[in-house]
Amino acid sequence: MNKNLFWIFGSLQAVTLGFIVFFLLGSLGLDSRIVLSVLFPLFTLIVEYMIYSK
């Protein structure tokens, strides 16, 4: 049950962070904004999962 909660709230957090990064980096090009708004939340989700799973 706890892993399900982690994935639900972790995914919501990652999506929210992706939108924030995408809209805050308006001065960059569209391709850079998309890459950063996907990779940064994905990286943080992986790190949080590694910490949580210990």
Query: What is the 3-class SS of the chain, one letter each residue?
Result: CHHHHHHHHHHHHHHHHHHHHHHHCCCCCHHHHHHHHHHHHHHHHHHHHHHHCC
pLDDT at 3: 84
pLDDT at 53: 86
pLDDT at 1: 67
Between residues 53 and 32, the one the model is more confident about: 32
pLDDT tens digits for 1-51? 688 899 999 999 999 999 999 999 989 999 999 999 999 999 999 999 999
C-alpha separations of 21 from 3, 28, 39, 51, 54 in Å: 26, 11, 10, 23, 28
